[in-house]
Amino acid sequence: MRNLKKILIIMILIPSSLLSAGDYNSGKEKSQICAACHGVDGISQIKTYPILAGQHKNYLVHSLKGYRSGERKNIIMKGFAENLSDQDIEDLSVYFSMQKGLTIPPLK
């Protein structure tokens, strides 16, 4: 009983973002629909669509949840994001954040 209490306390203290960390392979599979605009592996070849590859995971999670809720305004992204579960968002965010692509140009 004592160990059960410790486990429950630990579970309460662990941030929910760590409990649903996302799955890279699931994210890769789910990302196929994103490739139409954001490019294969999240590297867009079209300047009007952002590069997702290498973006911070937390930023991607926040953005997708914002599109899903309507807090972020983009009719195209709203249509895609409104059907995503929290797990889908975690999976996609892990996948894109682990891709190479986003670089910050040096200051001149």
| pLDDT, tens digit (0-9, with 9 covering 90-100), for 18-49 | 555 899 999 999 999 999 999 999 999 999 99
pLDDT of residue 17: 46
Which DSSP symbol is given to 45? S
pLDDT for 35: 96
**With contact defined as beta carbons under 8 Å apart, do 84 and 94 qualify?**
no
The residue ranges of every structural domain in the chain are 22-97
Instruction: Reply yes or no on domain 22-97 having CATH 1.10.760.10.
Output: yes
pTM for the full predicted model: 0.77
Q: Over 17-82, what HEC string results?
A: HHHCCCCHHHHHHHHHHCHHHHCHHHCCCCCCCCCCCCCCHHHHHHHHHHHHHCCCCCHHHHHHHC
Low-confidence spans in the chain with pLDDT less than 70? 1-20, 103-108
Residue with token string 């889908």: 88
